């Protein structure tokens, strides 16, 4: 089987972000949504508007987001939009909180999830640029494009459903129904696969490896980055690009590597990659192509 191509550049700039998108050689057609994390207020590691502006505007895209399942300003659509404005995203593009006015189910057909529950406005998009800030994550171990596509595109109820491996849709009940760790990781993969199937594969994937904190952008008080910036990776394969990011960290000589690895290993985070491969989301085998 041919290995998936993952493109890589060490330069993290608006120009290199456009360049690596163009290297994929695939045009995102129709109405495009760029899925990012707009960042919990108080945090500061999220991808900044000035970095992503050129690419978002090149695609004539909306920035797309969904509300959270934890208490905070981004749980409420109006407060979420205020936070988005404060972080400067409305200055570069229209921002669509996709579950502000509802949600709908898409088939998941997984071991844990029968459906994925996503923002109503996902129906309005023909293609997606999954533009993830790669970093650690308190529950998942790490977060890249798979997390950005699963938890990130799920509505509040969908997030609760993923986090509890299909037990409850009620955010208020989430913390009382946390599953075995691997079941949660597998549920994330199943939700990401559901979105990929719903979009008929019309998704491209970019991981930006900067501000490498062990904490997610959903954290209002994240730990400072523990590693130096590594670069930008892009692929048509979400599993390959997240796998490549993990491998770059594992093979790094950065003195902060062990701290980052400890976070991932504490949560058995890498388990999501072979499981995502098993269910057909992508491949862990890749060829790294430096630009």
Domains of the chain: 4-290 (3.40.50)
How much is the pLDDT for 72? Answer: 67
Compute φ and ψ for 263, nearest 5 degrees.
Answer: -65, -45
Residue 74 clears pLDDT 80, i.e. is over it = no
Share above pLDDT 70 across residues of the chain, in percent, rounded to a whole number: 99
Query: What CA–CA distances, in Å, run from 267 to 98, 126, 136, 235, 261?
Result: 29, 34, 10, 25, 10
Model pLDDT for residues 275-287, shown as the tens digit of each residue: 999 999 999 999 9
- The residue with tokens 């890749």 is 286
């Amino acid at each position: 089987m041919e290995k998936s191509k993952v493109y890589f550049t060490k330069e993290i700039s608006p120009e290199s972000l456009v360049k690596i998108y163009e290297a994929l050689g695939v045009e995102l057609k129709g109405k495009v949504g760029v899925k990012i994390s707009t960042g919990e207020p108080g945090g500061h590691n999220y991808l900044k508007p000035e970095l992503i502006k050129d690419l978002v505007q090149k695609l004539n895209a909306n920035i797309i987001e969904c509300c959270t399942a934890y208490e905070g300003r981004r749980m409420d659509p109006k407060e979420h939009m205020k936070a988005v404005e404060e972080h400067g995203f409305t200055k570069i593009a229209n921002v669509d909180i996709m579950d502000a006015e509802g949600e709908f189910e898409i088939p998941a057909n997984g071991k844990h999830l029968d459906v994925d529950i996503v923002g109503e406005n996902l129906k309005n998009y023909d293609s997606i640029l999954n533009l993830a800030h790669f970093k650690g994550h308190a529950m998942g171990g790490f977060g890249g494009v798979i997390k950005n596509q699963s938890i990130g595109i799920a509505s509040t109820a969908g997030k609760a459903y993923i986090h509890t491996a299909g037990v409850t849709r009620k955010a208020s009940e989430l913390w009382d129904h946390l599953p075995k760790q691997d079941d949660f990781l597998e549920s994330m993969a199943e939700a990401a696969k559901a979105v990929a199937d719903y979009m008929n594969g019309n998704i491209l994937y970019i991981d930006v490896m900067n501000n490498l904190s062990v904490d997610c952008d959903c954290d209002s008080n994240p730990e400072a980055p523990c590693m130096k910036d590594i670069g930008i990776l892009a692929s048509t394969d979400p599993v390959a690009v997240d796998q490549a990011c993990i491998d770059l960290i594992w093979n790094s000589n950065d003195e902060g590597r062990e701290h980052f690895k400890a976070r991932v290993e504490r949560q058995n985070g890498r388990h999501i990659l072979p499981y995502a491969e098993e269910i057909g989301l992508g491949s862990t085998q890749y060829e790294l192509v430096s630009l």
